[in-house]
Structures are given as C-alpha cells and as structure tokens.
Structure 1
Amino acid sequence: MTFPRPPRLRLAAALVCAGLLVPGCAHPGLGSAHDDPAAPATLTFWHGWSTPAEKKAIGESVARFEKRHPHITVNVVPDVTDETMNQALRAGGDQAPDVVSSFTTNNVGQYCSSGMWVDLDPFLKKTGVDKEKVFPKPLLDYTSYAGEQCALPLLADSYGLYYNKDAFQKAGITRPPRTMSELRRDAVKLTRRDGNGSYRQVGFMPNFRLYQNSPDRLFAQWGPEYFDRKGGARLAEEPASRKFFATARALLNAQGGYGPLETFRTTFGDEMSSQNAFLTQKLAMHMDGEWRGLMLRRAKAPFAWGTAPMPVPDDQADTYGRGYLTGTVAGIAHSSRHQNAAWELVKFLTVDTDQVVRFANAIHNVPSTYAALHSPGLDADPTFRTFLDIARNPRSVALPPSTNGGQYVTALQDFAYRVEAGKVPDLDAGLRGLDAQIDADTLQSEN
C-alpha cells in the first residue's frame, strides 16, 4: 500500500521530476534489445557539442562509422542539453534518441537508477569487450552506479596546473610546485602589486567562484571519500575535509585575504574569451583542463607557459601526478528499438582505438581508453601530454555518482563559498550540517 506524501514533500518531488531523472519519476518507453545489428537501421544520436570544430569532428566520426556499417544511417542532433534529452526520454516515442551522450558525469547515478539508459554490461559481454582492460578505473567508476554500467566514457577531461614560465623566471622559481606548501610559497613570490597596493598579478587564486575552481576539483588532490558504504555522506568524518579548507584559507591569507582577492577576481574577463585572467597575465598559475592549451596557442599567448599536475598535500607527496578526472559519457536510450545497432555506434565511438585517438586530437580532449592513451598517434605536444599522464595515473580520482546527480556537489560548492568568505565560524559543525543536507537531498530523491 502506498501512503500519500505530505503536500510539501509531494511538491519537492514534483520539482525534482521536472528536472533530471530520478527513481520513481521515470516511466521509460519499452525499447528492444532483440534487433538484428546487421539489418538496415536508422539511429538518432543526440550530443551536447556545439562549436563548429566539435560538430565537424562528430560528423567525421559518424561518417567513419557509416562507412564501416553501410546498413546503419545515423541522424546527428548537436547541442542538446541534459534537460532536453531527459524530457525526450521520459516522453519516449519516435522522436526520442537511440544513442545519447552527456557532459555531466555527476548525473550517471540518475541515468542508471531511473532506467532511462540501458545497462551496457550484456552488450559488452556478448561482443567480447572486457571493460576493465579497456577503460581506466576512474572512468569506469563515473560511468556506472550500483553495479550497473549504463554509460561508457567518450573522451575525458583531466585537470592540471598552467603556469607562466616568464613570471616564474622573473621570480627565480625553477620548477612548478609539487606540494601545497610549495604552491603557497610560489604564489606569494609571484603576486605583484602596483604602487598603490592594488594587484597586478596574483600567484594562484583559490577562490571557488573562479572559472574551473569548483571546490571538488581542488579537493580531489586529497583523494577524499564522500560517502560511506551505505551511501551516507561522510565529509565531517573525512580527515581531508579540514585539511583542504585549511589549505585554501592559507592560500588566501598568504596573498592578501579573501576580500581583496575576490575584488580582484571581479575584474577578470570571461573564462573563454581573450580576456581570460591567465591569458592576460593577471594569474601566474591556474587550475584548468587540457583544452586550455589549445586555446592559449590559438590566442597566441604573449608569454611562455607550461603545464604540470596540480600540487598535492605535503603528507601525500608520493601521490604527485594525480588529478581530477571527468568527461563525456555515452549510452543507449531505454526506448530505442534498435539497441543492438545503437550498441555498434556506442562501441565504435568509445572502444575503437583509432576512432578515440582521432576524435581526441580533433577536439583536444583526453582519450578514454588505455590503448588510446598510449597511442603514438596522439598529439605529441608536451603540454597536452601532461594531462594524458594525469589520466593514466592510478591515483587520479573522479566524483562518485549519486542518485540525485550533482546535487551533493552543489551543496559542497555553496558550503565552500561560505567557508572562504569567513561565514562558517565552526567548521566541524558546518561539515556535519553539510552531511545532513546531502543525506536529506538523497533521501528525497529516492522517495
């Protein structure tokens, strides 16, 4: 028997259902995994890439697939958001896609638990693909949930340190920092001010609202565990939590404090524009993804620059080389009536070494298979290979999936904003409250 929910909980659940998929909200249309993959078929492939270069690379990838599978035609729909995709999958019908991709790895828990993306393990098994031998473990971790592999990695992103070599030379620094204490020391040396005391350049700005500085990405250098075995939030009992926030605070204070740095941050240009703060030399060091190197070359950066792994905590110096990983994921819609043909496309895009290498080179992302990561056909630029090494590092980490998608990450972000602004007087109590909020959000999404 189902008891009615109180009005407030019913409203909250309705609001959740209006966004991304959660268990109990979805009613996926029935597809078929009994089609003949050798029979003529037309597939619809939805993806989120939007720039001309990205769409061109996807078009070339699909053309290679169709040449190999002349009986399969692929209709490509670009620039599709997760929200649009999920609405279509809920509705089902002939307009729904067969193959789907997403940039949001945090939502894989929802994709799997909702049933909207099919479990790929049976397809992997019957076509002889050993996923543990094909994909690095962190990438498999963020494409599965509760033992169900409902997605596969379709290229990856890794995060590292970009640094201004000219500024380093001027400051007498001979190599990029490897530990957090070295990062703080170098950041102070690299910070420059005008005669009136205003900033000209900041060594490293840890402010969590800056560009890619989401707190979870820097926190990854500690290798934290967000959840216990039962799925409960455990940030309050995670020793790294306090060390992480203490390190961020020390970085702020060493360079002038949160207020002045935040004021300086508001003078920065758009992240993807020619006024990016690293490109305009307002930042001497910056955390960013592998794509930034291509953008710096295209913009003809007026200084020498290099890349390195992000520094690690001093008491984990042996883990230097690790980093934060995320990426694009691909899967098959539950409502697809051509799931075996759809699997052929997913397998080609995610497993075929030559395809993965060519696509990675075309859009300057990190390849997502072991074979592609070691391919001699990859871009040989050493600044790009830094990110390949990070992706290959067995200690690199990705965020764990959750049934409520990235809601726990949003909760961490909001908490981190308050911590850095000095609005959390008791960090221990604040972390306990954060755990309680994450657990309440998870419970609500499961009801």
Structure 2
Amino acid sequence: MRRFRTPAKPAVAAAAALSVLAAAGCGGGTATDSEGSNAKPKELTYWATNQGTSLEHDKKVLTPELRKFEKQTGIKVKLEVIPWSSLLDRILAAASSGQGPDVLNIGNTWSSSLQKGGSLLPFDDKTLAKVGGKDRFSPAALAATGAKGKAPAAVPLYSLTYALYYNKKHFEEAGIYKPPATWDELVEDGKKLTKDGRQGLAVEGGDPVENSHHAFVFAKQHGADFFDSEGKPTFDKPGNVKAVKQYVDFVARDKIAAKGNAEYAQRQSVKDFATGKASMLLWQAARSSLLANGMKTSEYGLAPVPLQSAKPPAGRKVTSMVAGINLAVFKNTDNTDGALKFVKFMTSTAEQKVLTRAYGALSPNLEAQKAAPRDPDEKIMREVLADSAAPLPQVPNESQFETLVGTAMKEMFADAAAGRTVSTASVKERLTKAQQQMRK
C-alpha cells in the first residue's frame, strides 16, 4: 500500500471493530429514501486515496476522468479524496453505520482485514468477469487482494514498489560511481555522504507504517516472517529482531540518518532528499513528490533496494513488498451494477495509462504493462515487481502488525535519537510486547 497511519492503541480497537463487522455483516452504501430504494441510481460516491502531492492534486487528476466515465455511462461520481491518516477509521465507521461510499480505494495490505469484516463485495469469478476478468491483472498484484483460498476483497488499481533513490551529484562528489547493491555498501556509502550538515540517508522513523514495510523486507532478507503458516504472529523471532535492529541502526549505530528522522512522517524524508539534505532515500514511486519539491529527474538515479549479500540464498532476494492500492465496492451498495462499471472503467487499459502516468505508479493491468516503460523509474519498478517483490502477509490482523511493530520501531528510533542504546535485547523486548498485544 502507499501510505496510512493509525495510533498504536486504536489498532486493537480497529481489530475489534472488524470482528464486530464480521458478526453484523454490515456494509456501506449510497443514500436511500424512506422506502429503502436507491435515491440516486445514477450517482456513485467514490472515496479516493491521496496518491498525489496533495488532496487538490488528486482532485485535479481524477475529476476529468470521472467526467469521462459519466459521459460514457450517464453515472455521476461524487469524489472525496481522503488522507491516509484517517482513511481506515472512516472505512470502519462507514461499515458500522451502513452509510458510506459505493466504491473506495484501500491500501492493498488491508484487504484481508476488511475481507474478514465482511463489509466489502467479494470479487468471485462471476463478479471478476463483469470488470474484465481475472486475467486482466498481474498475479503479483492479485496476490495482495485478500486471504488465500477466498474470493478477492478488491481488485488492483495501482501497483507500487520500493526502490533506492540516490543523488547523482552527491555520489560523484564522494567518488561513488554506482548505487549500493548490499546494505554494507549502503552504510559505507552513507558514511562518505554524511558531511557538512547533509545525511547519507533519509528515513521516516516517525511513521509506523513506513517502518513496518521496511521491517517486512529486511526480515524476508534474513529468512524470517512476522507470521507463521497458520497466521500466528512471530514478531520476536531472531530473524525479525535482526531485521528491525538493522533498520533502526541507520540512526542508532551507523549514524547515516539524522536523529531528527526519528520524528519524520508525512513524506518529510522525501523533501529532505529532494532538497539535497540527504543523499539516499528508500521510497515508493517518489517521482511526483520529488518534482513537486523542485528536484529534476536528471538529478537522481534509481536502483533496486539493496540485499544482505550480492548472492543471497534462495528465497531471500526480496527488495520490496508488493505495494499498491486496491479498488473495492461496499457490499451493501444500492448500485452494484454502476459500481462494477466504475471498477471496470478505472482498471481498463486506457484509463490505467492515464492514471499511472499522473501518479508515477505501475499498472497492475497486464495489457497496460505491454507498453514501453514511460521513464527509467517505471522500468526499475517493473523489474522489482516481477523479480523481487513479495506480498505482505494476507492475514486478518495484518493491519495490527503494521501499527504495533511500526510503533515499536518508532519508539526505538526515539531511543536512538535520545542517545539511548538500542540493543538486540531491547529490540526483542519491544517486539515481544507488540506480539502480546496482537493476542488480546
């Protein structure tokens, strides 16, 4: 998924809310009249996520496309762009009350959690056929649409991958002539680049979700997972402890990321990279944000996220989560046919080319992927998605993992910034605490 944030304690409350929804079978829908019929059968409400540089940017991108849909179908779409920081709470409230949108974007990592809640329309084979069929979408993107063995809770809309962004001029000045391929190389390069008030690497230590995404990738590289085959949490296993410590050590031990990064959230690290305050950045589809902050495409390079070794063991060549946005329909919408027409439109080859270009994302539409990469960024991201990306665990309490582990990491970054030791034992202690909270 792209970006969202929820506080640590409400993660447990959110899980409880999802369980309630599963029992109640609630869903969202459009407004109805006193007799229960659809008051506006030719209107849909759409909740879009903040994909661009601002909410206004998203409205500017989406509005002409929604008008295009209205012209084709006669169905008007009422748009609301919702910040990631409040989206999950809005979805849960809408599902609980029965008053929500007809169609909405969700982070793909929420698919299983919301699927368990029962508030989303299942995309079984019959429903998938109405939006173009299963074969329209890439297998990697479909793998992040819900629990294995169940009908998808949504369909892929935008695909994203993490990559390493690096400042070409800074590298040249430091005598570095290629991007690092391993973490040891990245740390070594980072130390050369950290000087004169500039940091080698910018991280978003104050953002729990950003932290959890990197924890997942690092853990995969260490041969570990945060859930076992039965979906039970294994947060404090040795490989996961190593993974989290390695990432936090960019501030704590290696000192290639600034102490202030412990508080960074809302793309502050992206701004630091774009404005030359940092030389490297680990991010998803940063192009539009970099340009918005004054950086030129010629000033940065892009490479896959580094690995633990140049030749990792089989199964450990993971450099990114399968990030992205899914498009879902509330189960209790009063305009299912119209909602599915909208899903088909948004995931069509022609529309995907428009939207992914505007947002610098990858298209999960296989036909759209046949076109030549629009720029070097897309070329690298396509390769990562095909060769070294893995989906986050599709388990019902995955969203709790992101919040609890990500918040524990936020606390570790705060310790590092304050000069407190971040040891293997202290990392394990915090991950054990997070795991115990998952079991409540």
Both structures adopt the same fold (TM-score exceeding 0.5): yes
Alignment counterpart, residue 106 of structure 1, candidates 109, 121, 130: 109
State the SS of the aligned residue for 1:413. Answer: helix
Alignment counterpart, residue 89 of structure 1, candidates 77, 89, 95: 95
Contact 1:212 1:288 in 2 (8 A): no
Contact 1:269 1:276 in 2 (8 A): no
Distance 1:315 1:65 in 2: 48
Aligned to 2:6: none
Which piece of structure 1 moves more, 14-23 or 136-145? Answer: 14-23
Shift of 1:207: 6.8
Alignment counterpart, residue 353 of structure 2, candidates 352, 357, 368: 357
Contact 2:112 2:394 in 1 (8 A): yes
Distance 1:41 1:363, change over 3 A: same
Shift of 1:154: 1.4
Aligned to 2:143: 141
Distance 1:47 1:356 in 2: 15
Aligned to 1:231: 231
Aligned to 1:262: 259
State the SS of the aligned residue for 1:155. Answer: strand
With structure 2 as the length reference, what TM-score do the two structures score?
0.78
Shift of 1:283: 0.9
Distance 1:172 1:54, change over 3 A: same
Alignment counterpart, residue 301 of structure 1, candidates 274, 278, 295: 295
Q: Which amino acid aligns with 1:415?
A: A
Aligned to 1:345: 342
Report 1:106-255 matches (<5 A).
106-127=109-130, 129-131=132-134, 133-146=135-148, 147-193=150-196, 200-205=197-202, 208-209=205-206, 213-217=210-214, 219-223=216-220, 224-237=224-237, 240-248=239-247, 251-252=250-251, 255=254
Aligned to 1:287: 282
With structure 1 as the length reference, what TM-score do the two structures score?
0.77
Contact 1:135 1:369 in 2 (8 A): yes
Which structure: larger Rg? 1
State the SS of the aligned residue for 2:206. Answer: coil
Shift of 1:166: 0.6
Contact 1:366 1:388 in 2 (8 A): yes
Distance 1:295 1:354 in 2: 24
Distance 1:188 1:404 in 2: 38
| 2:371 is equivalent to residue 381 of structure 1 | no
Shift of 1:368: 2.1
Distance 1:202 1:211, change over 3 A: farther
Shift of 1:22: 5.0
Aligned to 2:333: 336
Distance 1:128 1:24 in 2: 26
Shift of 1:12: 9.5
Shift of 1:310: 1.0
Report 1:45-84 matches (<5 A).
45-49=46-50, 51-70=55-74, 72-79=75-82, 81-84=87-90
Distance 1:86 1:202, change over 3 A: same
In structure 2, stretches of 5+ residues that fail to align are: 1-8, 31-40
Shift of 1:243: 3.7
Distance 1:361 1:84, change over 3 A: same
Distance 1:17 1:186, change over 3 A: closer
Distance 1:16 1:269 in 2: 22
Shift of 1:244: 2.0
Shift of 1:299: 3.5
Aligned to 1:28: 26
Contact 1:325 1:396 in 2 (8 A): yes
In structure 1, stretches of 5+ residues that fail to align are: 1-10, 33-39, 194-199
Shift of 1:270: 7.0
Alignment counterpart, residue 321 of structure 2, candidates 321, 324, 349: 324
Percentage of pairs with the same residue: 22
Distance 1:286 1:403 in 2: 31
Q: Would you say how many aligned residue pairs link Structure 1 and Structure 2? A: 405
| 2:401 is equivalent to residue 408 of structure 1 | yes
Measured against aligned partners, the alpha-carbon deviations of 1:142-195 in whole angstroms (never above 9, x if no partner) come to 2212523111111122211111111111111111011111111211221214xx
